[in-house]
Amino acid sequence: MSESTEKLSNGSLGEQLAGESALRTRSLWKDAVGRLLRNRLSIIGLIITLFLLISALFGPYIAPYSYTEQDLLNVAKMPSPDHWLGTDEIGRDLFSRVLWGARTATLVAIFTTFISVIIGVIIGAIAGYGGALADNITGRIIDIVMSVPGLLLAALIAVSIKEPVVTWAENIYDASGFPLFADTTWLDLLVVFGGLAFVSWPGYARLIRGQIFSLREEQYIEAAKSVGVSELKIALRHLLPNAIGPVIVTLTFSFSSAMVLESSLSYLGIGVQPPQASWGNMIASNIGSWSYRPWLVAVPALTLAIVTLGINFLGDGLNDALNPRSKRSI
């Protein structure tokens, strides 16, 4: 409040308009939260997402066993009081592994989303502000990336950069002795981030470009321009707050699709390698025995299904909450 009063006393009309919009934004957010909490499905989604984040953060402390610990007397057992969700084909506790898998999935999703948003925003801004030629070139690049199925391209990239990344890490370890580089498990994750980020940025780039082009036509932007507000200020004060709604919605959806892609790669044996727990490789290593040990496949599969559904419910709810005008249209 004090910030905006200061802005108002500052004089120029453009500044005043900017201050007004800051005030309105805050009430819009309050509105959005209200709308989100009124929607039952998005509440369910919110709860599932919170559960996921808690298991990702504290899973290893909650988990009764480690993800590698084998109970050789209880191999491939049905759920029991000792092992809540049973044990897998080499006697590891399934519940613990699902919790560790939550950490893998969340880590990959957060990093991938983060990297691809940054790339997407930069390329989108270049397309939106760089003139017709830049728009054309970025458009072509996006078309090219999108003409290969995302999973295939991500898999191809992951397969190709795996060796270079591992040698690179080994070299750093040899040179510096930094203990972080001795462990190769997170390198699998790094490879997956690379592959996934490369295939997921075009969505953001298109979104940002579209937002820039469509918001430019709005009257308030025109008004801001006519009173002499600078381009940069318009971008930060007017474009950004108005574009952030769709971006948050896309973030949510791509969070779940990054999770699905990670488990797909791990399922194909390219992503996270056993014994590291990923829901994808857990499904893959047990899919052959689905007919006589169904719980080994069903537990990670159901977890992945519930989590992606929950996040998408949340995304749908956010879409309705943040873009109240375009209720449930595409």
Partner 1 sequence: MFFYTIKRLAIAVPTFIAVLLITFTLTVISPFDPVAMMMTQFEGTLDTLAKEEVIERIRDQYGLNDSYWVQFTRWLGRLMQGDLGISINGQRNVLRMIVKTFPISFQLGLAGAVVTTILGIPLGCIAALRQNTWLDYTIVGGTLGFRTVPVFVLAPLLLVLFVLVLDIMRVPRGWDGLFQSKVILPVFILALGPLPVVVRQTRAAVLEVFSMDYVRTAKMKGLHMWRIILRHILRNALIPVVTTLGFIAEGLIVGSIFLDSIFAIPGFGGVAEAGFRGFDYPVIMGVTMVSAVMIILTNLIVDLIYPFLDPRIKIE
Which parts of this chain interact with partner 1 (CB under 8 A)? 41, 140, 143-144, 147-153, 155-157, 159-164, 167, 256-257, 260, 263-264, 267-270, 280, 283-284, 287, 290-291, 294, 297-298, 301-302, 304-305, 308-309, 312-313, 316, 327-330
Q: Which is closer to partner 1, CB of 24 or CB of 40?
A: 40
Sign of CA dihedral 150, 329, 239, 114: negative
Whole-number CA gyration radius for the chain: 24
Please state the closest distance from residue 89 (CB atom) to partner 1, in A: 15
Cα(131)–Cα(32) distance, rounded to whole angstroms?
34
Q: Which is closer to partner 1, CB of 18 or CB of 270?
A: 270
Cα(210)–Cα(323) distance, rounded to whole angstroms?
15
CB 221 within 8 A of CB 240: no
Please state the closest distance from residue 73 (CB atom) to partner 1, in A: 26
Q: Which is closer to partner 1, CB of 60 or CB of 275?
A: 275
Please state the closest distance from residue 13 (CB atom) to partner 1, in A: 39
Half-sphere exposure of 33 (CA within 13 A, CB side): 5
Q: Which is closer to partner 1, CB of 131 or CB of 294?
A: 294
Q: Which is closer to partner 1, CB of 96 or CB of 254?
A: 254
Cα(138)–Cα(133) distance, rounded to whole angstroms?
9
Cα(229)–Cα(17) distance, rounded to whole angstroms?
10
Q: Which is closer to partner 1, CB of 143 or CB of 222?
A: 143
Q: Which is closer to partner 1, CB of 27 or CB of 147?
A: 147
Q: What is the total residue count of the chain? A: 330
Please state the closest distance from residue 136 (CB atom) to partner 1, in A: 11
CB 189 within 8 A of CB 106: no
Please state the closest distance from residue 56 (CB atom) to partner 1, in A: 19
Q: Report phi then psi at 257, rounded to 5.
A: -75, -30
Please state the closest distance from residue 304 (CB atom) to partner 1, in A: 5
Find the helix packing angle between 185-216 and 94-129, rounded to 10°: 40
CB 271 within 8 A of CB 192: yes
Give me the residue label for tokens 């040179």.
Answer: 175
Please state the closest distance from residue 274 (CB atom) to partner 1, in A: 13
